[in-house]
Chains A and B, each alone.
Chain A
Amino acid sequence: MEVAATIADETVLIRRAAAGDRSAYTSLVEMHRNRVFFLARDLCGNSEDAEDLAQEVFVKLYRKLDSFKGSARLSTWLHRVTLNTYIDSRRSRAWKEKKQTDAWDPLHEQRGSYHPGSVTAPEAMALDNQVLGQVENALGSLSPRERAAFVLRHFRDTPVREIAGSMGVREGTVKSLLFRGVRKLQTALAHLEPPAGQEGAR
């Protein structure tokens, strides 16, 4: 009942926003901004790029309000647009140039994307940050589509079937992207594992 009411409210807000009511548009953004931002942060790996991505998504929403027929829930539509905008932006030359100048800096921010655990000792935190940096660098080596598939499956526990729907590809393609992504991560993170044969000695 509550969900139906929310959908009805949302439909009214979309109609008002499409007619130029900025407060209705602001309400729509406020309803969905956390969800869009969290997904963007998982995809981008940092808050600054996530903010840029979320901005792009909401600008697209503003421009497409009248084409939004309500056949899909707005949250589903935003989810798909966030993914596709991320993939497109990562393919752009500007992003590649930016990545070349960016090096991961463990002191830059307490990364929100990966939980460093509850340790407080400075050495443990430094070690955690080091691992986090390596994980982020490893994730950075994935192609945009591989990362999108991985983030949705690994962090968000989204079934492959749904990921395929969001990305507009076949399930087999998502499985292949996930497979390749995990293989790359395994290679990049192999040095964090004890050598074979020593696992029992841990």
Chain B
Amino acid sequence: MKNCSKWRDMLILDYYGELTSRKARRLAHHLEHCPECRQAAERLSSQMGKIRTPRDDAPDEAFWAGFMSRLDQRIDGMEPSAKPAMRLLEHPRKWALAAAAMVLLILGGVAGHLLFPPGTPRPAAGINANSGFSGELGSHLDTIHPLMVDCSVSPPAEFAQSMTFSKPRIRNLLLRNRLLMRRAQEKNDAAALEMLGEIEMILLELSVPTRMDADRCGQVHDLVNRSDLVGRMDILRRRAVSPGGREARI
């Protein structure tokens, strides 16, 4: 079976005209020869066509009269441009919450100091030791997916210019990747371990502080495409339970 996942991933951005002209040409060329992807493109177009453009019918005067009257009531007694501190005083509940947050912050600092005396290795941000491995893995793969698609699809020179992931972000992803590798090892999850290992090689290449030249971009491009990493990531992402599709916070 042909693996077209990287082309399928591009269909959505192509539908909205958000692919670079070069990527769009490559996709068009693929569609000419792949009836399955062509059908997927047609299905996408038909489904999105059902979600139609909203009409901009303005509410009537009665609606706006009610709206303005309600707004007047809400701002009566308020000072325009109240300073943040004054706003808190106007809302005792917010004030109480802010005070509680401050107390928690202080208590957290003290507890952190007691639990992790200086020199103790700490779990990295973004990895909760108690949360499910498969959820963490899904979230991690969701975050990395657009980067890998870019590496896979863009020609090296173009990729070097259009990379949107910053170096610090890539280094954070690398750290997270390593922690997940350790957990995959503990869980004897060979498939996840293998994929995370491949991802690590790519992230390592991308995290080098010097500028990405065409050669290095070419190496990354080859690493991603040699074993259809994006396609296999999709399979693993489907397997993993991703928490709400929310982008993982690093």
**Chain A interface residues toward B at CB < 8 A:** 17-20, 22, 25-26, 29-30, 33-34, 37-38, 41-42, 47, 51, 54-55, 58-59, 62-67, 112-115, 131, 135, 139, 143, 145-146, 153-155, 159-160, 170-173, 175-180, 182-186, 189-190, 192-193, 196, 199
Contact = CB atoms under 8 A, between A and B. Distances in A.
Q: Which of B81, B87, B150 neighbours the largest number of chain A CB atoms within 10 Å of its CB?
A: B81
Interface in B164-183: 164-165
Nearest to B9: A179
A51 B81 contact: no
Interface stretch (B65-73, B112-120, B186-194): B65-73
Contact of B64 (A33, A177, A193): A33
Q: Which of A29, A179, A192, A196 neighbours the largest number of chain B CB atoms within 10 Å of its CB?
A: A179
B24 to A, nearest CB: 14
Contacts of B165: 172
Given A114-B52, A173-B247, A180 B142 contact: yes
B1 to A, nearest CB: 15
A155 B53 contact: yes
Contacts of A177: 247
A63 B81 contact: yes
A136 B75 CA distance: 33
B164 A170 contact: yes
B54 A112 contact: yes
Interface of B: 9, 12-13, 15-16, 18, 39, 42-44, 46-48, 50-59, 63-64, 67-68, 70-72, 74-75, 78, 80-82, 87, 142, 145-147, 150, 164-165, 244-247
Given A63-B80, A114-B51, A55 B70 contact: yes
Contacts of A26: 68
> Chain A binding site: helix, strand, loop or mixed by DSSP?
helix
B174 to A, nearest CB: 17
Rank and list the top 5 A-B pairs by shortest CB-CB distance, nearest first.
Answer: A66-B81, A172-B164, A65-B81, A176-B146, A182-B12
B47 A66 contact: no
Contacts of A179: 9, 12-13, 146
Nearest to A25: B80
B74 A135 contact: no
B164 A171 contact: yes
28 contacts: A18-B80, A29-B71, A37-B59, A41-B54, A51-B63, A55-B67, A59-B71, A63-B78, A63-B81, A63-B82, A63-B87, A66-B80, A115-B54, A115-B55, A131-B50, A145-B246, A154-B51, A160-B16, A172-B147, A178-B16, A179-B13, A180-B142, A182-B48, A185-B47, A189-B50, A193-B46, A193-B47, A196-B39
B72 to A, nearest CB: 8
A149 to B, nearest CB: 10
Given A62-B75, A135-B50, A182-B15, 18 more contacts: A25-B75, A30-B68, A37-B59, A38-B56, A41-B54, A47-B59, A54-B67, A59-B78, A143-B245, A173-B247, A176-B146, A176-B247, A177-B247, A178-B12, A179-B13, A185-B47, A192-B47, A199-B43
A154 to B, nearest CB: 6
Contacts of B58: 34
A139 B51 CA distance: 10
A183 B10 CA distance: 12
Contacts of B9: 179
A101 to B, nearest CB: 20
A153 B94 CA distance: 35
Contacts of A67: 81
